[in-house]
């Protein structure tokens, strides 16, 4: 078993080389430690200034992007989650996060980093498997997504498609 400093260096190195998220469980198996030890290592790396993002599928190192970024407001039932996410990705968007406004904590943000239809399927399957409450359920389905996209046309297409599905939150909409 390697010591904590070397383990943290190896975690950081793996994240720098990774194209996809790496789970704490994967790191734990690799280093022969508990998942909680890895979670602590990552917390220490983040506290030291490393831009490590925790997603539902594992850890990522945040990288500079040339993509455009916008927030969109949406509202839908939990059953429409897959449809919403698939729509955004199908029109060239990356779903970076979900944001809800909580009465006690203020803004709550959940990292998603969904870039492919397979990412969406994996997220939806994991939510179902874990039987968790989605953040959007805390706010009657109203939430924001930060999305990244290549061209303004992508944003226009995403909004139009979501509007046609009744998912885009619009001023005169009553649910």
Q: Is 84 annotated as a binding residue?
A: yes
Q: Is 76 annotated as a binding residue?
A: yes
CA angle 96, 134, 174 (to 5 degrees): 90
SS3 call for 27: helix
Three-state SS string over 31-69 comes to HCCCHHHHHHHHHHHHHCCCCEEEECCEEEECCCCCCEE
Q: Is 145 annotated as a binding residue?
A: yes
Handedness of CA 44, 45, 51, 57 (dihedral sign): negative
Distances (CA, A) of 122 to 11, 54, 152, 172: 23, 16, 27, 34
**Cβ proximity of 58 and 127 under 8 Å:** no
Binding-site positions read 76, 84, 143, 145
Binding-site positions for Ni(2+) read 76, 84, 143, 145
């Amino acid at each position: 078993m390697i010591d904590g400093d070397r383990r943290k260096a190896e975690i950081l190195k793996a994240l720098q080389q990774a194209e996809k998220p790496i789970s704490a469980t994967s790191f734990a198996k690799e280093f022969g430690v508990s998942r909680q030890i890895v979670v602590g290592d990552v917390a220490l790396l983040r506290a030291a200034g490393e831009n490590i993002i925790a997603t539902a599928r594992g850890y990522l190192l945040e990288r500079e992007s040339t993509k455009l970024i916008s927030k969109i407001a949406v509202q839908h039932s939990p059953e429409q989650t897959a449809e919403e996410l698939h729509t955004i990705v199908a029109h060239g968007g990356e779903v970076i996060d979900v944001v809800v406004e909580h009465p006690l904590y203020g803004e709550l943000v959940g990292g998603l980093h969904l870039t492919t239809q397979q990412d969406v399927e994996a997220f939806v399957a994991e939510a179902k498997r874990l039987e968790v409450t989605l953040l959007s359920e805390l706010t009657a389905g109203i939430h924001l997504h930060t999305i990244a996209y290549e061209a303004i046309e992508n944003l226009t297409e995403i909004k139009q498609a979501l509007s046609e599905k009744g998912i885009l939150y619009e001023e005169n909409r009553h649910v």
